[in-house]
Structures are given as C-alpha cells and as structure tokens.
Amino acid sequence: MTLLHLFDLDGTLMYGSAAPVEISRQLGVGAEIAALERSFGAGDIGPHQFSVAAHALWADLTPAHVRAAFEGAPWLAGIQDVWREIRERGDYCAVISLSPSFFVELLLEWGAHAAHGSVFPEVPFTRPVEAAGILTPEGKVTVADRLCERFGVSRGDCVAYGDSGTDAVLFEAVAVSVAVNARPYLAERATHVYEGRDLREAYQLVGAARPGVEAS
C-alpha cells in the first residue's frame, strides 16, 4: 500500500511560529502580524481577510526577505530525513498550508513531492491578492483529493500532520492523523499525538505501519 503524507506548515513543521510571522519579522512588522494572527485565531477574520491584510503589510517584501525568513525559521529537526525516507519507501509527501504559496513552495527544495499554499502574487507585489486563490480549511481537503488523484491513492491511504483547528477538517477526511504540538481541540481528534521538536519522532508514531495497523 502506498501512503500519501500530508503536512501542515505553520506550527507543525515550524515550531511555535508561522510563515507570516517569520516574513513579518524580516520587515519589522511583527506586532502587526501578531494582531492579525490573534484575530484569525479568534475567528474574527477569515483566511481571505487575513491574507489581504498581510499582503498590505508586506508591500516592501523582496525575494531576499522571503529567503531570509525561510532560512531563519524555527523548523523542526529531521524534516528532510523524513521526506527522504518517505520517498525511499515509495510513498509520497506533500505540504498543504494556508500560508503564502511563495513561501510554502520553497519546501519543494527539501524533497516534498508537492507544496500548496494560498496563491499570492509574485514578490515583489504588483498585483492584489485574489480571493479565489486563498486556501481555507475545507480547501485543504480539496487539495488533498487532487493529490490523491495525482498519486493514485485514496483518502484511506493518507496520513495528515497538523496542529490547529484549521487542520480538523482534513483530519476527519483521512485514515490516520498525527497532532504535532497541537492545540487540545485537534489532539483529541488525532490518531497519534506528538510533542517535541523532531519530525522524525512524530513520523515514527506511524513508522512502517499502514492505516489500520498499529505502529511498533
């Protein structure tokens, strides 16, 4: 059986932070993005409103800022090791995130088969954000279904890794889920729960097991 491993980015692959936070830090607008993150977490604004506001904050963003944010982010250890092992097993790994596509897609460099984020215009920005391109929690499932079709697997062959309520819909849709440094709401709904800073340890909760089979 071939598996498709689906990874969230913010708070999952990245410990205690998120792509918008790391990007904003490069531009000196950390306090502003923190306020937006609080509003989003409280449900006061949705993914599109958040993205439009973040786009406005990042008016001076350059590719150099993006690269610095990526390289300086607090990534979990072992990401590339895990993805290498997944590939060697003949399985697939992908990232699905509500964060900007121009950041998420950099993870292709680390060995992900696919990386999908909210579609932002190219950096530096010359165009506005379009609502149709912004991912939602439900949109994560839509992307997952497209990836299943691409890789010839089903939802029953998927393992999802996430940390927050925005991953709950995807957790409900797949066979196995791993809550990584997650909020209680999600941890209660996960097959496995991991707390720590090494993706290799979270991956070993699933390990060589397949959906429906207990990992050793």
- Mean pLDDT of the region 60-84: 98
Of 108, 205, 200, the residue nearest 216 (C-alpha): 205
- Mean pLDDT of the region 129-156: 97
Give the pTM.
Answer: 0.94
Mean pLDDT rounded to a whole number for the chain:
94
Confidence of residue 49 (pLDDT cuts 50, 70, 90): very high
Query: For the segment 11-46, what is each residue's pLDDT rounded down to a tens digit?
Result: 999 999 999 999 999 999 999 999 999 999 999 999
Q: Is the pLDDT of residue 209 over 80?
A: no
Integer Cα distance of 116 and 140 in angstroms: 9
Write down the pLDDT at residue 1.
Answer: 86
**96: which DSSP letter?**
E
Of 171, 188, 180, the residue nearest 205 (C-alpha): 180
